[in-house]
Chains A and B, each alone.
Chain A
Amino acid sequence: MKIKEVPQDDIQTFKGSGTKAIYAVDENGRYARTPSSGWEAEEVVLRDVVDDFAKLAEDAKIRVFKGETSPIEYYMNKYYMDLPALARGMGLARWRVKRHFNPNVFNKLNRKMLQEYADFFNTDIDTLKNIKEIA
């Protein structure tokens, strides 16, 4: 890739974080680090995954209001995780996390466990328990 071919697509997913550094060749064929504001292809694939999770989160939120699942499922999708990832991150067995999706079980969780979830999702217990209609 030549320096002038380095993509400068100003992608949304890296906006506000400056530039990335990429190795590209100059006119004399020498390699140099070049700043890039991102490549569209890269944004497309990331967007695809992120949008998917956003949809799942939205869906989970509706089900939380209907009392069909717990906020844990909503937060899991909001932070781009699937069940194995959340279980690994929390250091719990999958079936336990899955069980916590059950609103009845969730409502009976002790403070310690709730605090662990809250810490993991970078929030506090109150926000964890009461997700708002528009968040």
Chain B
Amino acid sequence: MKTIRNFEHRHFAHCETGVMSTLLKYSGLELSEPMVFGLSGAICFAYLPFLKMGNMPLVSYRMFPGHIVKKFPKRLGVEYFRKTYKDQDLAMAELDDFVEKGRLVGLQTSAYFTTYFPPEMRFQFNAHNIIIIGKEGDEYLVSDPVFDHIERIKAADLKKARFPRGLSAPKGLVHYPIKCPDAVDLKKFIKKSIKKTVHMMLYAPVPWIGIKGINHLSRHIGKLSRKQKPKYTRHFLGNIVRMQEEIGTGGGGFRFMYAAFLQEAQDTLGLPLLKEASDRMTAVGDQWRKFALECAKILKRKESRVDLPEIAQYLRRCGDSEKQIYRMLKTFK
């Protein structure tokens, strides 16, 4: 058996930020999960009615999967190794090499082929992130940030999970930090990232992103009943909540994570403005939860008549409260 020495598995709310936080920690740069999330500017809202998944429009509460692994290390000035493969066997052989050398690596995998997932969660989702920490016989030991203990996966299954076809196919992506800078000017990065987030949420040039996206979706919900069958309406609402609830984000979970980031930012910068923003972001997270709960109630009752304008109102209020926070953060220099 070969494993990374002194590896301590940490349980995170989200896979990509969790993997990044752990990998950086083992290269000597300690950043918490919310810090990674906030600094990479991963909070977002997108409602893309023209991109259908399972006949439902795409709704996302964060930047596209893969964004953090792709952009974040570069922004921080971390030297980063990323490699994709054409040859599956070569990919697996090199992974064994990494394990042998005791190097901690992150992989992008498909949830569908990740055998230790509960069966109901094994949807076609190609951008799950895990860390390989060792190999024992034919099984790899996996530190999956969204599970609370070390998981195991067979080599054959892992190979499939690394090379699924379809949207955002990982192509066996393996990644790890090569060299971290000795010190990171957190203050500078916090300011930069908040500015970027504010800009995206308030001034995206398209109507599907940011606050505009939330309002767009809210308007669409208001109109649903006139056009669609009750079943479609139910699925539509379910889809919005499911995207929000997808593993480890727990009801507006990304809003809570961003609030945690703002809190940490306040610890670093000591500005009262950030404290207020953090408190209000927490309140917005609760509003999102309330919205999710109302949608779930509709699904549960299976009633054909649904008070859609009310649901749309809940969503609009989420958008309005968030807008105020970003407006406030805009004044922060």
Q: Give the chain A neighbours of B299 by CB distance below 8 A.
A: 44-45, 48
Contact mask A23-50 → B, CB, 8 Å, 1/0?
1110001110101100111101111111
Q: Are B166 and A20 in contact (CB under 8 A)?
A: no
Q: Give the chain B neighbours of A39 by CB distance below 8 A.
A: 245, 250-251
Sorting the interface of chain A by its residue count into under 10, 10 to 19, 20 to 34 or 35 or more gives 35 or more
Q: B residues 278-309 with Cβ under 8 Å of A?
A: 279, 282, 285-286, 289, 292-293, 295-296, 299-300
Q: Are A24 and B248 in contact (CB under 8 A)?
A: no
Q: Are A85 and B282 in contact (CB under 8 A)?
A: no
Determine how close the nearest CB of chain A comes to the CB of B17; give it in whole angstroms. 11
Q: Give the chain A neighbours of B44 by CB distance below 8 A.
A: none
Q: Are A44 and B296 in contact (CB under 8 A)?
A: yes
Determine how close the nearest CB of chain A comes to the CB of B139; give it in whole angstroms. 17
Determine how close the nearest CB of chain A comes to the CB of B255; give it in whole angstroms. 9
Q: Give the chain A neighbours of B67 by CB distance below 8 A.
A: none
Contact mask B248-267 → A, CB, 8 Å, 1/0?
10110100110110011000
Q: Which residues of A contact B (CB under 8 A)?
A: 1, 7, 13-25, 29-31, 33, 35-36, 39-42, 44-50, 52, 79-82, 84-85, 88-91, 119, 122
Q: Which residues of B contact A (CB under 8 A)?
A: 11-13, 33-34, 52-55, 112-113, 116-118, 120-124, 146-149, 160, 164-167, 234-235, 238, 241-242, 245, 247-248, 250-251, 253, 256-257, 259-260, 263-264, 279, 282, 285-286, 289, 292-293, 295-296, 299-300
